[in-house]
Amino acid sequence: MNKAALILALVAAPALAEPDARALERLVRQDCGSCHGLTLKGGLGPDIRAQALTHYEAEGLKAVILDGVPGTPMPPWRPLLTEAEAAWIADYLLNGESE
């Protein structure tokens, strides 16, 4: 690697710590969708489209995603997602981009 490429790699590296929007969008569709329905309208799990989540603040939603709902099939995602990724998903669900 030449010097310029090395510097570029070092400058670009912190971006990798940002949530990967495309991967998370896929996770919401496929993994959350496996229980909440492909369009998130509900299945085994309830409707999690924005209009069904008005009783949540982003923080509360993030906690449900990270810790699940004990005693129900809603699993905790903490082993798989970082706090930043869960916050991204909460925001994604609340802002209706899941339509």
User: At closest approach, how far in Å is the CB of 12 from ligand HEC?
Assistant: 28
3-state secondary structure the chain: CCHHHHHHHHHHHHHHHCCCHHHHHHHHHHHHHHHHCCCCCCCCCCCCCHHHCCCCCHHHHHHHHHHCCCCCCCCCCCCCCCHHHHHHHHHHHHCCCCC
Number of residues binding to ligand HEC, judged by CB under 6 A: 19
Nearer to ligand HEC, 77 or 87 (CB): 77
Site for ligand HEC contains 45 (CB under 6 A): yes
Site for ligand HEC contains 44 (CB under 6 A): yes
